[in-house]
Amino acid sequence: MGTDFSEPKRQSAAGVAVMFADHLQRSIRVLVFPIILVLVRAKGMNHWYLIAGFLVFLFILIIYSYLSYLRFSFFLDEEKQEFVIQKGVLSKEHISIRLDKIQQVNINQSLIQRIIGVYSLDIDTAGSDKKEASIKAIDHHTATILRERLLNRDTPGTTTEKSTDGQGPNPEPLLKLSTTTLLKVGLTSNYGASVALLMGFIFAIMEMLKNYTEAFQLEENPIKALSTEGLNLISIGVLLFFALLIILGTNILRNFIKYFDFEVIKKKAVLAITSGLFEKKHTLLKPARVQISSYSQNYFQKKLDLMNMKFKQASFDSADEDDKDNKKHDIEIPGCDENERDELLKMIFECIPPKNSTFIPNYRFLFLTIMLKVVIPISFFLLIGSVLVHLRPYFWWIIPYTILVVIMLYFEFAHHRLYLSENFIIKKSGIWDVEHQIMEPHKIQGITTKQYFWHKKANIGHLVLHTAAGTIHFKYGNYAEIHRMANYWLYYIESGKKDWM
Query: What integer pLDDT is reported at residue 225 of this predicted model?
Result: 53
List the Cα angle 47/51/52 in 5-degree steps. Answer: 115
Domain of residue 221, residue span: 179-259
Asked if 243 and 132 sit in the same domain, the reply is no
Identify the pLDDT of residue 489: 92
Domain match, 237 and 308 both: no
The whole-number pLDDT of residue 160 equals 41
Q: What is the pLDDT, as a whole number, of residue 415? A: 95
Q: Report the side by side order of strands in the sheet with 357-359.
A: 331-336, 307-313, 290-297, 434-439, 425-429, 417-420, 357-359
pLDDT at residue 127, as a whole number: 56
In a domain, 55, yes or no: yes
Answer for the pair 143, 1: CB distance below 8 angstroms, yes or no: no
Distance in angstroms (rounded) separating the CA atoms of residues 171 and 272: 11
Domain boundary among 163, 192, 211: 163
Residues of the chain with pLDDT below 70 are 1-2, 38-46, 126-131, 153-170, 191-233, 235-236, 315-328, 501
Task: Verify that 42 and 55 share a domain, yes or no.
Answer: yes
> Structural domain tally of the chain?
4
Same domain, 473 and 356: yes
Question: Does residue 294 sit within a domain?
Answer: yes
- Of 102, 107, 106, 108, the C-alpha closest to 152 is 102
Does 172 reside within a domain?
no
Give the DSSP letter of residue 179: H
Q: Tell me what pLDDT residue 128 has.
A: 55
Return the number of other C-beta atoms located less than 10 Å from residue 397's C-beta. 11
pLDDT tens-place string over residues 29-83: 777 777 777 666 666 666 777 788 888 888 998 998 899 888 899 998 888 888 9
DSSP for 245-264, written as a single string: HHHHHHHHHHHHHHHTT-EE
* pLDDT given for residue 359 in this prediction: 94
